[in-house]
């Protein structure tokens, strides 16, 4: 990876962590010269402070950084920013940085390493960056394979979500999935266009049928692993752009709809982690990839639609398209009777109203899953919040003329959409639905403005605990 190395360069700078809680006791043990330097630089016990310590000749010798105890995921990100601000890019290019690990736990070192890598992300698809990010020597205590897979997978989400829809339609998303599959020797099957009707995926076809031929709807089906192992199926909402359909979105809501395939990006990133870290499962990944476009053949409000399961759906809102394509995919996922189905979707504004942009809403038909996943999410600094599949609200998904409607137009849509999806499972397999946002609005160290992972690390950790013997 670009910002890590196994070998030190001629110029190698030590990074010496100081725990904020222990700062005063640490300070008393330092030399008078260093104490004076600390005072002059206003280096304090507040977490995230950085001190560049130079020798008498003016050469950088050591970097001190105050950290929380335990070390938090993005603690090292502030250090990366400080190095880039303090040091010449040419000098950074010729230098490695080595973390002094002896005061840190394995978890501390892992979080520091991940935070370093996440802070070095730059999106360069459309313009070259002049930025030169520092290189960290791989710490001895870190599980290199896990760290590398995590960062690669998070960057995969960011890169996919950040690309504009003109460059990432259903065909390009298919290409990206096939590239990941090739890396892991996984199999991919694609059903697209009119063949979706022949193969009984009518809702996926309906949502995407107004798109031109080169952006026609498709179901991308990846499989990997030993069929004797526990069977997990991941489903991701792949709406590569969402106009809202004939219920067209206002400008302020349509502006970010390139990110409406964020669920697919998360499902693909999780599949990448499962395969690269060889979790002992049989994996299937289903991505219904469409563009919710407007044309003369677009589906309409009030249309009654057929589904793969045979249930009819009154389309009360063409801007509630994500749950339609997921419905057919969840039915297909259920048909193989997997041990577990997990879907990711940038599904509802109401989930954001309830929990904000950083906390995905988690639903499950297995009541034991929510508390376990939430506990792990706090440990991973990757929060998810269990929400209720409140059965009395099923009345809001009912239709006078069809089996279901796809949008109640009432507050609480995150719950109604989850209840709607639950109807399309077969024989009630264990199922988790994650309504995520996949975007960072404000930007911060280690988490730049743009595409963002929300829930990825937590769900992998939970799966790892569940299936790794």
- β-bridge mates for residue 5, sequence order: 137
323 and 417 Cβ atoms separated by less than 8 Å? yes
Residue corresponding to tokens 């630089």 = 41
Residue 158 a catalytic site member: no
Choose, from 218, 258, 323, 447, the residue flagged as catalytic. Answer: 323
Strand ranges inside 193-262, DSSP E: 218-224, 231-236, 238-242
Which is it for strands 282-292 and 238-242: parallel, antiparallel or unpaired?
A: parallel
* H-run or E-run covering 331: helix 322-335
Q: Residue 450 has which token pair?
A: 């743009």
> Burial level of 57, CB count in 10 A (0-12/13-18/19+)?
exposed
Q: Residue 51 has which token pair?
A: 């001190």
Non-local (6+) Cβ contacts of 58 within 8 A are none
CA distances from 335 to 316, 328, 441 (A): 27, 11, 38
Residue 323 a catalytic site member: yes
Non-local (6+) Cβ contacts of 374 within 8 A are 362, 383, 384, 385, 386
Distance CA 389, CA 384 (A): 15
Choose, from 178, 249, 394, 466, the residue flagged as catalytic. Answer: 249
- Name the residue among 445, 450, 266, 451 with its Cα closest to residue 344: 266
424 and 331 Cβ atoms separated by less than 8 Å? yes
- Name the residue among 468, 361, 455, 358 with its Cα closest to residue 154: 455
| Alpha helices per DSSP H over 69-208 | 75-86, 89-93, 106-119, 144-162, 170-184, 195-198, 202-208
Q: Residue 215 has which token pair?
A: 């952006």
**Other C-beta atoms lying within 10 Å of the C-beta of residue 464:** 15
Distance CA 230, CA 434 (A): 21
Active-site annotation, residues? 249, 323
């Amino acid at each position: 990876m670009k910002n890590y190395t196994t070998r030190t360069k001629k110029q190698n700078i030590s990074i010496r962590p100081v725990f904020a809680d222990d700062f005063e006791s640490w300070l008393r043990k330092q030399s008078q010269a260093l104490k004076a330097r600390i005072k002059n630089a206003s280096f304090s016990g507040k977490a995230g402070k950085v001190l560049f310590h130079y020798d008498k000749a003016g050469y950088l010798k050591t970097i001190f950084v105050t950290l929380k105890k335990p070390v938090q995921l993005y603690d090292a990100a502030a250090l990366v920013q400080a190095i880039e601000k303090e040091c010449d890019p040419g000098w950074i290019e010729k230098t490695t940085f080595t973390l002094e690990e002896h005061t840190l736990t394995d978890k501390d070192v892992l979080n520091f390493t991940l935070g370093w890598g996440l802070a070095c992300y730059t999106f360069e698809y459309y313009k070259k960056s002049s930025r030169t990010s520092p290189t960290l020597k791989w710490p001895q205590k870190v599980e290199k394979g896990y760290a590398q897979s995590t960062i690669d997978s998070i960057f995969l989400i960011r890169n996919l979500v950040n690309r504009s829809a003109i460059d990432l339609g259903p065909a390009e998303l298919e290409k990206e999935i096939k590239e990941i599959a090739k890396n892991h020797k996984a199999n991919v099957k694609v059903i697209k266009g009119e063949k979706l009707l022949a193969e009984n995926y009518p809702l996926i076809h309906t949502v995407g049928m107004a798109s031109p031929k080169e952006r026609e709807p498709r179901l991308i089906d990846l499989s990997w692993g030993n069929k004797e192992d526990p069977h997990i199926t991941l489903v991701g909402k792949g709406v590569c752009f969402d106009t809202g359909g004939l219920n067209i979105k206002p400008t302020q809501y349509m502006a970010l709809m390139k990110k409406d395939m964020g669920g697919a990006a998360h499902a693909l990133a999780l599949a990448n982690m499962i395969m690269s870290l060889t979790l002992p499962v049989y994996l299937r990944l289903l991505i219904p990839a469409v563009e919710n476009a407007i044309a003369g053949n677009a589906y309409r409000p009030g249309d009654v639609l057929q589904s793969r399961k045979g249930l009819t759906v009154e389309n009360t809102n063409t801007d509630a398209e994500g749950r339609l394509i997921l419905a057919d995919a969840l039915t297909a996922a259920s048909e193989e009777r997997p041990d577990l189905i997990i879907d990711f979707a940038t599904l509802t504004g109401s989930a954001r109203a309830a929990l904000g942009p950083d906390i995905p809403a988690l639903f499950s038909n297995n009541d034991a899953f929510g508390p376990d996943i939430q506990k792990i999410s706090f440990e991973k600094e990757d929060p998810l919040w269990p929400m209720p599949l409140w059965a009395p609200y099923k009345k809001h998904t009912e239709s006078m003329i069809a089996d279901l409607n796809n949008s109640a137009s009432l507050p609480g849509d995150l719950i109604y959409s989850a209840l709607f999806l639950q109807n399309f499972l077969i024989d009630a397999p264990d199922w988790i639905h994650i309504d995520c946002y996949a975007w960072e609005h404000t930007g911060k160290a280690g988490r730049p403005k743009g595409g963002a992972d929300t829930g990825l690390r937590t769900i992998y950790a939970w799966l790892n605990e569940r299936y790794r013997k």
